Structure 1
C-alpha cells in the first residue's frame, strides 16, 4: 500500500468556477472571484484588508516594502522556518537575526527575543509552525515596548487561532500560503492581511506594480500613475476561482484534517508513554488547524534509517526544514542570537507523517505500524 505524504484535496467546484471565469472572459487579477476571496478572508480572518498574492513569499516581500525595510535593518525570526521568511527581508538589504524555538511547539521562543534586539531591529517575524499559534501576547508586548512591527508568518495558519483570534490578525501584517501542500489551496498562491488601516492603501499600491490602479478602477482617481516601489504581486482570476471553491469548504476541510490528526494522536499515545517518540503539543490557548502531524524521535535514534524503512514500505514520511542559520545563505546574510540548541536538535529528529483529506483510518494505522516497527528495529541494532 503506497501512502503519499500529501494529496491535494478538491471540493468538486474548482473547475466549475474556472469555467465561469473563462466563459465571462475575465482572466486577469482582481476580478469577481478575487473579491469573493477578499471578502471571505476579511470576515473570517478578522483583518482590515486582505489581498490575494502570488504566494506567501510575495506577501512577505510586500511586508518588507510596506515597512520600508532598508539595508542595515535587522529582522528577528526563527531559524527553523522556510527560506522565504528570511529572503523577503534579505532582498531589501536587511539582516535576519535567528532566535531559538520552543521545545514544545517548535515556535519562536518568545523568551529569547528581547536579548536579540539592537538599535537596528525593525520587526519580529513569528512563524506559526504546523498551524499552532506562537505566544503572541508576549511577542506583541515586547514589540510594543521597543517600537517594533510584528509580521506573522502564518503560511500554515489559516483557520487556526490564538486565544480565539485568527492567526495572521494579531500583528501589523500577516502572510498566508495557499500552496498545494497547505490545507486550503490554489496550487500556488497566498494572501496578505493588513491589520493596520494606515497601511491598506500603500499595500494596494505596492501589489499593483507601485501604481494606484486599484483606486482608479474604484473611481477614486481619474487616472493611475506610478506612486511607490512595487511589483506585480496579484494572482490571475483563475487562481482566485480555484481558491474560492476551497474557501467555501474551509470548515469541512479543517474538520476532516482534525479527525485524522486526532486519530494519529490516539494511535501514538502508547508509543510516547513507552519512550519511542514525542507527539505534538498544542497549548490550551491555541486552536490548531491540523496542518501537519509530526513526531519527535529520541536523540539516539537515526532518523535517516527510519525514513528509509518507511519509504521502502511505500510511506511518504518526510523531514522538514534545514535550519537557516546552518545554510550557506544563512551564514552569509544572517546572524545568530544566543544558542539554538532546540533548533539544532529537534530539526534532526522530526518526522512528518502523511496527512490529507481522504486519508483513511486503515492507512493511518499502516503508517503508525510501519513507523513503530522501524523504531523497534532501530533500537535493537
Structure 2
C-alpha cells in the first residue's frame, strides 16, 4: 500500500493502478485474445458487445480460474478475473506457465489475489476503475434504512402489522457522519451527504477533499454514523476493532460497503447484542467467501452471520453495492482496455 486510504488505490505496491481508459493500439497488430474467468451471464453480454468494438477475441467461462481450467488461457497473454472467489497461488502459477503475463481483476480491491506472489512469477496484476456512484448511492440508502429502522418496519408490514414501531427514526441533518477513507467512493459519499445538511467528518492518511479531516479517534468519538471506504490491507485489517468500537457514542451506527475485514465482526456483535450500538448496515462481511453470491437456503452459513441477521437493527446485503448497469459497463470496458494497453506496451518492449 502506498499509504493512502483511497478505495481507488492499489492494495499492494506490486500491483499497478488502473490507468485512464485510453487504448494505445500498435500500428499493425493481430487480434488480441483474452480469457474471461468467473464471468456471469450479464457480464458475458457486455464483454461480447465491447470486444466486437475493440477487436478482441474472447474465451469466456463462468468458472473461476483454477489449475483445472488454465488451458482456456492457452495462447493468450491477458486474462480477466472476477473478485467473487479467491485466486489461489496454484492457479497463478499455472497461468504463468501457460504464458499469461497480465491479469486484470474486475474489481477495485486486490485482497483476493496474492499480488506479490504473482509478481514473482512475472505476472502483472491491475485493477479496474468504475463509477463510484454505484457504491456511494447504496451507502446512502443503507444509512437511511438503518437510522429509520427499515428492517423492523418492513418485516412488520410483511406480516400485516401496520403499527408504528417502538423506536422512532432519526434524521440525517441532526447527525454527524464519519467517513473513513476519502478515495473516489468516499468522496462521492461526502458529496451526497452534503445534500442532507448533516455534519461530515473524514479520516484519511492523505486528506485531499473539502471536508473536515480529523484523527481516527476523534472521528469515532464524534460520529453518530461511521461509514467505511478504506482499502483492505495488513494495516487496515480490523481497523475498527473492539477498542475503537468502544470509542463510539452509545447508539451509534456502523455502515460497511468497503471490505468485510475492515470491521472486527466479533467486537461488532458484542456491541450490538448488548444494545450499546444503534445498529449496523453491512454489504460486506468477514467470511463472506462461499456464502455471498450463492444460494444458501438449504445449507448452513456462519454463526456470526446468523447472529447478525437475527438482530432487528442490522441490515445485511450480499456485497452488491457495486452492482449497477453503469458500473458493469465501466468494469467490462476498462478490463479490456487495460489488456489492450498492456499488449500494446509489451509489443513496443519487444
Per the normalisation by structure 1, the TM-score is 0.34
Structure with greater contact order relative to length (CA < 8 Å, sep ≥ 6): 1
